[in-house]
Structure 1
Amino acid sequence: MRSLIHLLCVAIGLVIALLGVGLALGGADLAWLGGSWAYIPLGLLMAAVGLALMARKAFALPLSIVLSLIAVGWAFNEVGDVFWLVVPRVVVFLVLPIVVGVLSPWFGPAVRSGESAGRGVGVRRSWGLGIAALYAIIFAGVSLNMFRPHAEVTADPAQSPKVDTALGQQNGNDWPAWGRNLTGDRFAPYVQINADNVSGLKLAWTFHTGDLAIDGSEYQVTPLKVADTLYLCTPLNKVIALDPVSGHERWRFDPHMQVTRGNKGWKRCRGVSYADLTTMSLLAPDAKAFGPEEAASSPAEQPADPAAPVPAQAPVDETPAAPAPITAQTPCARRIVSTTNDARLFELDASTGALCEDFGDHGMVNLLEGLGPTAPGSYYLTSAPLVADGVIMVGGKINDNMTVGEPSGVIRGYDVRTGRLVWAWDASRGNRDSRPLPAGQIYAPETPNFWGTASYDPKLGLAFIPLGNQTPDFWSGNRHPYSDEYTDAVLALDLRTGQERWHFRTANQDMFDYDVTSQPILYDLPGAGGETTPVVVALTKRSQVFVLDRRTGKPVVKVTDRPVATDGMPGQRISPVQPYSDLSIGVAPLKESDMWGATIFDQLYCRVAFKKMRWEGEWTPLSDKQKTLIWPGYYGGSNWGGGAIDPQTGVLVVNDIRMAMWGQFIKREEAAKAGLVPSTEGEYSEQLGTPWGVERSMFVSPMGAPCFKPPFGSLTAIDLKTQKTLWQVPVGSIQDARIHGIFGDKGIIPHLYIPVGMPTMGGPLLTGGNLAFFHGSLDNYLRAFDLRTGREVWRERLPVGGQGTPMSYVENGKQYVLVVAGGATRTGTNANKGDYVLAYALPSTD
């Protein structure tokens, strides 16, 4: 037995010594780069513990205790009491006294047969096992704390805002628009399900759409509920109508989407829209369309001048035939409006699912018209169009980072009854003209596009549109002046004419795909004197929250231009300043001590990697010489899922992604030699027509863990009246996440519920019952949070993960919460995918 223990001491001691030497050598590398020196003594002490264990020296145990105390003191001195930053610094050193203490009874010379072990050996044995037990208890306490969420900001009851239940009561029992209403607040005023009884929520019904989220398809849809019917779309753009009480299918329509090079690996339908022609303010039947005689000159001949006055837009003499009057009995009096990934706009009778033959060409409008030869396969639509005041407004997504010359990002307005093109706004003409171009002419290519969801203020008649940047994303040397003028902007257009009212840039020049994609949120902000200011809240991938007066575009929350790094590659166009709002979420500049890992070893690796990267703060330009850290990452911040606001309290709730990335320019021939495969969304893009391709990825350790501190996704509540953060909590666990790194392409799934906070997709739903629902994390759960405290009060396991936004409605006196789950985002596999529509409700009491 003693020989076996001797061998065990040697083997374990050797491993500890080698790990200690590796830690010290890595620490020397870090110190050489100008980083912390702490890992050198920690590594040397660890190696000494290992050597002492190999020799079965009694001082191995007290040395391991001293090492653990030094590590704990260093950790708290460097990062304070931030749990997830302390853990990787100390956990290995907490384990060492346990191991050494268990083996310590066999230290020292062997006791020959017939001899007494003696009092000293007995004391040493008891002392060693006691130390091991004490450290085991400490380790167990740390481990147990990994299974509970650690809030970054804890709610203070004294800061709870006042509630005005008279607000937010629009739309009755329905959810008739993507954000529930055209203001995008995602607030359902229902109180039947509330923070006190949500624990009793049960699955009411399940529906399968029949389209699995595989081969590039992703379910990101938020359904509508209008009157007695639910409406949703699949990633293949099929539209399905369901009974809201039973989930039974009423009808479906298949537009037979064509697979193109653009949508082959990117099939999405985030929502459909609804139009009731019997109640909607329609364009006048005798309205004159803009025609060739009044059309603008080609964009190349008239570059945009945003300061120029808006000219009068005279109509032509010819008028279309007046359509027949609309009554409730008219076919297609109530319409579902949707788009396809192969660039078509269509309308269906909301009652039957039949195409509305009087719209466009037998129900369809070709959105490729006027976009030129590069549009097929590159231009496609994923988000629900804005429908209001007789107009359908659409934008489109284009393939990023593949090549120059991509089609225009033109935004167009169509007559909701006829499909007639009413106006067209593009950045090349800006505020000068919104008339459609004559047939055969092409809208200026490469202009910033709009692929998210817009909002609408009917009092002002303005649509608020989030814009992107000119592609390719990572090379700004080819940008047009008019693209720079509108890059990453919030744009306000008159919905009936397409004329620009104002625009506000959230970035002066974008080299990191920071396009604004979240639906702008409209809110009437109360003032100290009882007045209100109509504001638009623009959430950005940079996690800057811009609050603007929606009448003028002027900031209501202060915005400051700050200097940024400009040492880019020759030919890059770089702005020396960028705008920063006084309101932001989780975007403090990263520093070396923020680097993270599952253990101290990959945490050290990440610190070394961080020091070897270019990093002069946000907006550090890419280089071909070394990797550049990109923080915030280009997935967000706030992506298309956006946020929500409780109009009864003025509390804004935002889910944000916190994923640092890296990028580096690479010659295309070198990329080919390295076997890199170009794509629009992958880790290498060619950026044809520019000097460089770009290689990029997430900043992770060899263990597959992010190299920066948790959480990697959070939910934050902000009182907009005071701009104070009320609470901030991590969202999501590692339970269902697939971790790669050393685990290979297939990776591993931990199956452990450790709520560290994972990257989020989709958005939150808020209710009058003081609840925030969310299901867009990387684990398979629908969650409810107490809106007053941020505390998770209910969690339900889903069959697969989700990416969209929950919605809620009331039917037959019962409130439902509904989600669509097709699988978590970007898993890179067809596994763990589905086609579920799931409705939850409280059990009936009768």
Structure 2
Amino acid sequence: MNNSRNIVVTIIGAALLLLGLGLAAGGAYLISLGGSWFYLPAGLAMAASGLGLIRQKGWALYVAWALLIVSLIWAFSEVGTDFWQLVPRTVTFLVVALLVTLSAPTLRKADLGRVISCKLAAGVSAVLAIGIIAIFAGMFRPHPEVEATADKVPVLDEKAADDSGNDWTAYGRNTGGQRFAQFDQINTTNVKDLKVAWTYHTGDLAINGSEYQTTPLKVGNTMYVCTPLNKVIALDPVTGKEKWRFDPKIEETSGNKTWKRCRGVAYTELSEAPQDGTQPAIAGNKRIISTTNDGRIFSLDAETGKLDESFGDKGFVNLLNGLGPTAHGSYYLTSAPLAADGVVMVGGKLNDNLTTGEASGVVRGYDSRSGKLLWAWDASRGAKDSTPLPEGEIYPIETPNFWGTAAYDAKLGIAYFPTGNQTPDFWTGNRHPYSDEYNDSVVAVELKTGKEVWHFRTANQDQFDYDVSSQPILYDMPGKDGTVTPVLIQLTKRGQVFVLDRRTGKPVVEVEQRKVSTDAMPGMKVAETQPYSAISVGTKALKESDMWGASIFDQLYCRVQFKEMRWEGEFTPLSDKKRTLIYPGYYGGFNWGGGAIDVSTGTLIVNDIRMAQWGQFIKREDADARGLQATTEGEYSEQLGTPWGVERGMFISPLGVPCFKPPFGSMTAIDLATGKTRWQVPMGTIKDAPIHGVAPGLDIPLGMPTMGGPLVTKGGLTFFHGSLDYYVRALDNNTGKELWRGRLPVGGQGAPMTYIGEDGKQYIVVVAGGATRTGTNDNRGDDVIAYALP
């Protein structure tokens, strides 16, 4: 028995010796890079403790406990009480101390007597074990970054949105993109009783590059939902039964072959009779306007689903007209169009990072009855002219495009849309002056004419694909003096929240220009300063101590990688010499999903992504030699027409976990009046998020990257289902605490919506087709799910 025990202890000692030496070696290298001095002596102490076990020396306990004490002092001094940062810094050394303490009976009695008695060793082992268990238990509860300080948020407008009806008539519920509903039938006291009311399957599984990112509409007694193949389906909102469906039969192109989305459709009512006296092709004035992945707009009778053949060319408008030969296969639409006041307004998505010479990013307005082109705003002309070009002429190539959904203020007659930048995204040496002027901007135009009113840049020069993609949120913000300012809230991938007067584009919340790194490659154009808002989420610059990992070993690896990379803060330019850290990453911050505003309390509620990436310029011949495959968003893009290709990737450890501290996605409530964060909670667990292809299956609320957006109701609830785990959740608007969750068959990416049905019930609806970009056809779906109270 003793021999077996001694063998086990020897094996433990050998493992600690080897691991300690590895930690020490990595620590020595980190010191050579100018990093922390902790890992070298900690590794040596671990190795010494292991050696002591092998030699059955009692001093192994001294070393193990000293290592634990020093590591605790170091951990708390470096990261304070941040739970998730403490975990990799402490658990390993707790386990080392526990193993060595449990090995005490095998150590030489003469030495052991001078160290500790066996009974005391057993007691210490129990304490250490309890500590480890407590940390493990702590992993299963959320750790908010900002705890709510008040149980109740003050109500500024008790009648907010009371006159907005029972429907959901636009992508963001209204053309202001607020995603707020005044319904309170489902509230904080009864949300726990929510049940599935009905489920509908569209028949189009989210496979082969298709993703469900849609938010349905509900108008009257009909719900409208679109599939990634741009089929439009009408459902009974009370029963979920299909009424009709329309298939535009999209063409599969090189651009949309692996990228098919439909984030929403638009609803409009044709209020004017045809000007030429002709009769419309179909009776009635209610229309569903939608777009396609192959670059078309089409109009349907909202009651019957029949194609309105008086719109455009037999029901369709070809958006490739005027874009030139490079548009086919590169230009397509993914987001819901804006349809209001007789105008349909659309932009389009272009392939990123493949080549120069991509088609124009022109934004166009069409007559919602006839499909006639009314105006065309293009960055090359800007505020000078929005008159459509004559038939046969081509809009200037390479202008910044708008690929999200616009917002509209009917009182002002102004539409607002965000822009991206001139592609390729990571090389700025070929940018046109007008591209620099309008990159990553919010542009305000008259909806009827397309004439520019103002524009505001959220970045002075974009080298990292920081396209502004989320729908602007329009809100009438009350002031302390009783005045009301009509504002526009623009979320950005940079995590900056710009609050502007939507009449003039002037900041309402302070914006300052800060100096950024300009150490760029020859030929690159970079800005010396960038705009920063007084309100932001997840934007604090990373430092070495923010590096994270599942253990002390991959945390050390991440610290080494961090020190090896170029990093002088946000906007550190890419180089060909070594990798550059990109943070915030080019997925966000805030992506296309946008946010929501509780207009009754003036609280902005947003979900974000916190994922760092890295990038490096590479010669195309070197990339070919390494067998890198060129794609628009993968690990390598050619950027033809520029001097360099670009290689990039996620900043993760060998274990497949991010190299920086959690959360990697959160939900945040911001008081717009003060700019202060009311609460901030991690969003999502690791349960269904695969690591090297294996889902952990654990409800650990680490906070994972999010997609889609939130829904806020006057019932005091925020609903969300864009996390990487398969849940729809309801959070308390006052505290951010989770009050209810419903298990989904697969993950979701869109935004929930709500309405009151003809049966008088409030419904919450989500569309679940699978979590974002899994890279496989596993765990894919086509579910439209409605929830209601029993």
TM-score normalised by structure 2 residue count: 0.98
Counterparts of 2:280 and 2:616, CA distance in 1: 60
Q: Deviations over 1:529-583 (max 9, x none)?
A: 1000100001000011110000000011111111111111111011111111111
Counterparts of 1:548 and 1:285, CA distance in 2: 38
Identify which of 679, 684, 688 aligns with 1:736: 688
Q: Hey, what does 1:827 align to over in structure 2? A: 774
Identify which of 701, 711, 716 aligns with 1:765: 711
Q: Hey, what does 1:315 align to over in structure 2? A: none
Alignment map for 1:320-719 (pairs within 5 Å): 321-324=276-279, 331-719=283-671
> Would the aligned equivalents of 1:343 and 1:381 in 2 still touch at CA under 8 Å?
yes
Instruction: Decide which moves more: 92-101 or 599-608.
Output: 92-101
> Would the aligned equivalents of 1:61 and 1:128 in 2 still touch at CA under 8 Å?
no
- Asked whether 1:22 is paired with 2:22, we answer yes
Counterparts of 1:261 and 1:322, CA distance in 2: 42
Instruction: State the Cα distance separating 1:52 from its structure 2 match.
Output: 1.0
Counterparts of 1:712 and 1:200, CA distance in 2: 30
Question: Aligned AA for 1:43?
Answer: G
Instruction: State the Cα distance separating 1:121 from its structure 2 match.
Output: 12
Q: Hey, what does 1:807 align to over in structure 2? A: 753
Q: Hey, what does 1:78 align to over in structure 2? A: 78
Q: Hey, what does 2:94 align to over in structure 1? A: 94
> Would the aligned equivalents of 1:678 and 1:686 in 2 still touch at CA under 8 Å?
yes
Counterparts of 2:661 and 2:154, CA distance in 1: 31
Q: Deviations over 1:93-125 (max 9, x none)?
A: 111122222222222279xxxxxxx99699833
> Would the aligned equivalents of 2:687 and 2:700 in 1 still touch at CA under 8 Å?
yes
Q: Deviations over 1:701-745 (max 9, x none)?
A: 1111100110000000001111111000000111111113xxxxx
Counterparts of 1:42 and 1:257, CA distance in 2: 61
Structure 2 segments unaligned to the other structure (5+ residues): none
Measured on the aligned residues, the alpha-carbon RMSD in Å equals: 1.6
Secondary structure of the 1:157 match is: coil
Counterparts of 1:324 and 1:440, CA distance in 2: 29
Counterparts of 1:205 and 1:617, CA distance in 2: 49
Q: Deviations over 1:163-219 (max 9, x none)?
A: 422112243110010000000000011001011111111111111110000000000
Question: Aligned AA for 1:800?
Answer: V
Residues 769 and 730 from structure 1, CA distance in 2 versus in 1: closer, same or farther, beyond 3 angstroms?
Answer: same
Residues 332 and 345 from structure 1, CA distance in 2 versus in 1: closer, same or farther, beyond 3 angstroms?
Answer: farther
Counterparts of 2:56 and 2:753, CA distance in 1: 64
Q: Hey, what does 2:743 align to over in structure 1? A: 797
Question: Aligned AA for 2:691?
Answer: I
> Would the aligned equivalents of 2:707 and 2:772 in 1 still touch at CA under 8 Å?
yes
Instruction: State the Cα distance separating 1:135 from its structure 2 match.
Output: 0.5
Secondary structure of the 2:90 match is: helix
Q: Hey, what does 2:728 align to over in structure 1? A: 782
Counterparts of 2:67 and 2:517, CA distance in 1: 41
Counterparts of 1:285 and 1:509, CA distance in 2: 45
Instruction: State the Cα distance separating 1:586 from its structure 2 match.
Output: 1.4
> Would the aligned equivalents of 2:213 and 2:748 in 1 still touch at CA under 8 Å?
yes
Q: Deviations over 1:630-652 (max 9, x none)?
A: 01000000000010001111100
Counterparts of 1:177 and 1:577, CA distance in 2: 37
- Asked whether 1:187 is paired with 2:139, we answer no
Counterparts of 1:179 and 1:322, CA distance in 2: 35
Counterparts of 1:599 and 1:567, CA distance in 2: 34
Q: Deviations over 1:431-465 (max 9, x none)?
A: 01111101110001110000001100001000010
Secondary structure of the 1:432 match is: coil
Question: Aligned AA for 2:10?
Answer: V
Q: Hey, what does 1:303 align to over in structure 2? A: none
Instruction: State the Cα distance separating 1:128 from its structure 2 match.
Output: 2.1
Counterparts of 2:672 and 2:235, CA distance in 1: 37
Alignment map for 1:713-728 (pairs within 5 Å): 713-728=665-680
Count how many residue pairs are aligned between Structure 1 and Structure 2.
789
- Asked whether 1:141 is paired with 2:129, we answer no
Instruction: State the Cα distance separating 1:156 from its structure 2 match.
Output: 1.1
Secondary structure of the 2:94 match is: helix
Counterparts of 1:26 and 1:269, CA distance in 2: 48
Instruction: State the Cα distance separating 1:2 from its structure 2 match.
Output: 1.3
> Would the aligned equivalents of 1:100 and 1:132 in 2 still touch at CA under 8 Å?
no
Question: Aligned AA for 2:617?
Answer: F
Instruction: State the Cα distance separating 1:584 from its structure 2 match.
Output: 0.8
Q: Deviations over 1:481-533 (max 9, x none)?
A: 11111000000000000000000000011000001001000001111110001
Q: Deviations over 1:311-354 (max 9, x none)?
A: xxxxxxxxxx244489xxx6241111000000110011111111
Counterparts of 1:607 and 1:122, CA distance in 2: 36
- Asked whether 1:251 is paired with 2:251, we answer no
Instruction: State the Cα distance separating 1:406 from its structure 2 match.
Output: 0.4
Question: Aligned AA for 2:181?
Answer: A
Identify which of 209, 219, 236 aligns with 1:226: 219
Secondary structure of the 1:783 match is: strand
Q: Deviations over 1:23-50 (max 9, x none)?
A: 1111111111111101111111111111
> Would the aligned equivalents of 1:159 and 1:726 in 2 still touch at CA under 8 Å?
no
> Would the aligned equivalents of 2:58 and 2:112 in 1 still touch at CA under 8 Å?
no
Counterparts of 2:166 and 2:717, CA distance in 1: 17
Counterparts of 1:423 and 1:121, CA distance in 2: 89
Question: Aligned AA for 2:143?
Answer: H
Q: Hey, what does 1:60 align to over in structure 2? A: 60
Counterparts of 2:437 and 2:113, CA distance in 1: 81
Counterparts of 1:119 and 1:549, CA distance in 2: 74
> Would the aligned equivalents of 1:537 and 1:547 in 2 still touch at CA under 8 Å?
yes
Identify which of 702, 705, 708 aligns with 1:756: 702
Instruction: Decide which moves more: 635-644 or 149-158.
Output: 149-158
> Would the aligned equivalents of 2:682 and 2:703 in 1 still touch at CA under 8 Å?
yes
Q: Deviations over 1:462-486 (max 9, x none)?
A: 0010100000000000101111110
Q: Hey, what does 1:842 align to over in structure 2? A: 789
Secondary structure of the 2:117 match is: helix
Secondary structure of the 1:459 match is: coil
Q: Hey, what does 1:196 align to over in structure 2? A: 189
Counterparts of 1:599 and 1:439, CA distance in 2: 63
- Asked whether 1:275 is paired with 2:227, we answer no
Question: Aligned AA for 1:85?
Answer: Q
Q: Hey, what does 2:143 align to over in structure 1? A: 150
Question: Aligned AA for 2:656?
Answer: G
Question: Aligned AA for 1:483?
Answer: S
Counterparts of 1:240 and 1:54, CA distance in 2: 70
> Would the aligned equivalents of 1:332 and 1:348 in 2 still touch at CA under 8 Å?
no
Secondary structure of the 2:657 match is: coil
Q: Deviations over 1:118-177 (max 9, x none)?
A: 996998332222211110001100110000110000111178232422112243110010
Q: Hey, what does 1:309 align to over in structure 2? A: none
> Would the aligned equivalents of 2:61 and 2:115 in 1 still touch at CA under 8 Å?
no
What percent of counterpart residues are identical? 65
Counterparts of 1:325 and 1:223, CA distance in 2: 27
Structure whose alpha-carbon radius of gyration is higher = 1
